[in-house]
């Protein structure tokens, strides 16, 4: 979907997926651990995204000042989470139908 844009603009697009966790707090679908309804999750998604950025940086030439996050719903929550807790690496975010939880604000 974004490949033509990425190719034309020499961008790298990564489609990261949250962890699939089946608990009483979540359905069997994947999710990002962003506090709020995922508060029982022990997955460290901030470290995961930080690791993904490092892996991409090891494999390609990237502009570290132009790393962005976008997501819908729980992915939007995750983008806010990254803005609050990985702000040294994330230049900007866009959230579609996602908010941020009080747990995210602790990263400010």
pLDDT 10s digits, 55-97: 999 999 999 999 999 999 989 999 999 998 999 999 999 999 8
How many Cβ atoms are within 10 Å of 16's Cβ, its own excluded? 13
Adjacent-strand bridge partners of 94: 70
What pLDDT digit, counting tens, does each position of 55-65 carry? 999 999 999 99
The dihedral built from the CA positions of residue 92, 94, 58 and 46, taken in this order, carries a sign that is positive
Instruction: Spell out the domain ranges in the chain.
Output: 44-102
Whole-model pTM over 0.85: no
- pLDDT recorded at residue 14: 92
* Residue 27 in this model has a pLDDT that exceeds 60: no
């Amino acid at each position: 979907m974004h490949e033509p844009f990425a190719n034309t603009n020499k961008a790298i697009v990564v489609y990261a997926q949250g962890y699939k966790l089946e608990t009483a707090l979540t359905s069997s679908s994947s999710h990002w651990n962003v506090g709020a309804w995922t508060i029982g999750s022990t997955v460290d998604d901030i470290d995961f995204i930080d690791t993904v950025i490092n892996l991409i940086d090891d494999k390609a030439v990237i502009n570290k000042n132009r790393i962005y996050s976008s997501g819908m719903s729980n992915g939007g929550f995750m983008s806010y989470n990254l803005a609050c807790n990985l702000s040294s690496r994330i230049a900007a975010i866009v959230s579609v139908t996602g908010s941020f939880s009080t747990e995210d604000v602790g990263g400010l």
